[in-house]
Amino acid sequence: MTAPIELHYWPTPNGWKITIALEEMGLPYELKPVNIGAGEQFRPEFLAISPNNRMPAIIDPDGPDGEPVSVFESGAILQYLARKTELFYGDTPRQRIEVDEWLFWQMGGLGPMAGQAHHFRGYAPKIEPDLSKLEYGKTRYTNEVNRLYGVMDRRLSDREYLAGPYSIADMASWPWILPEGQGQTLDEFPHLKAWHERVGERPAVQKGRAAGKAMRASLADDSEEMKKARDVLFGQRARP
């Protein structure tokens, strides 16, 4: 029996991308928690496989030529898994181009912008008591997420999925549609809303989204533990 893929993981949108893909592809995997609020992403053993000190990362014991391989960056992991299984990466060369376009769109746009919207709307007020200092960032990123939702809504107006058949592009984008924390309402984007519901009904998506749910506590409360976690997450500096 093939050894499971080691998934170094914390339950966030970027982590959910990979649990969803692994569930969809039927690949056995083992969660290796990386508590980002406790600074475990800076441990030397994790940096050895993820030099940007960000999760997720994987170690596949059955990599190319049967040798183990580690992969970091969620988009690169999705591409690796899709090539490994020959699943969810388009059925034609043209579809694969579209999958890559929308995967990179998510990696470079939707994820970073939505993450900043979450920060300025939810986390930053717990750190900066002068809310007037946060207003520009809050408005800037909330508006940009609204624009990106509109891009998806137009794209999905005449198709069920982002790039031909259901693919890793959908798996990458779906976890980042968190409208309440981003200052959005899906009623404004009917095609995006229908897609979000359609993808969310898939059993593998539901299982992947729930993976490691008990690991995560809200960073929005005011306990000393969560204050320390926010300091780790948002006060990060280069380390030797």
What stretches of 89-202 show up as alpha helix (H) in DSSP?
A: 93-105, 111-118, 124-127, 135-155, 168-173, 179-182, 190-200
- Contact of 137 with 124, CB cutoff 8 Å: yes
Report field, pTM of the whole predicted structure over 0.85: yes
Q: What is the pLDDT of residue 180?
A: 94
Q: What's at 152, amino acid-wise?
A: M
**What class, spelled out in words, does domain 93-201 have in CATH?**
mainly alpha
> Sheet containing 69-72: which strands, arranged edge to edge?
29-33, 5-9, 57-60, 69-72
* pLDDT exceeds cutoff 80 at 59: yes
* pLDDT exceeds cutoff 60 at 5: yes
Nearest-angstrom CA–CA distance, 33 and 212: 8
* Domain layout of the chain by residue ranges: 5-87+221-229, 93-201
- CATH superfamily placement of domain 5-87+221-229: Glutaredoxin (3.40.30.10)
Confidence of residue 235 (pLDDT cuts 50, 70, 90): low
- Contact of 72 with 50, CB cutoff 8 Å: yes
Confidence of residue 240 (pLDDT cuts 50, 70, 90): very low
Q: What is the pLDDT of residue 234?
A: 59
Q: What is the pLDDT of residue 129?
A: 82
Evaluate whether 5-87+221-229 and 93-201 have a shared fold: no
Q: What is the pLDDT of residue 38?
A: 86
* pLDDT exceeds cutoff 80 at 123: yes
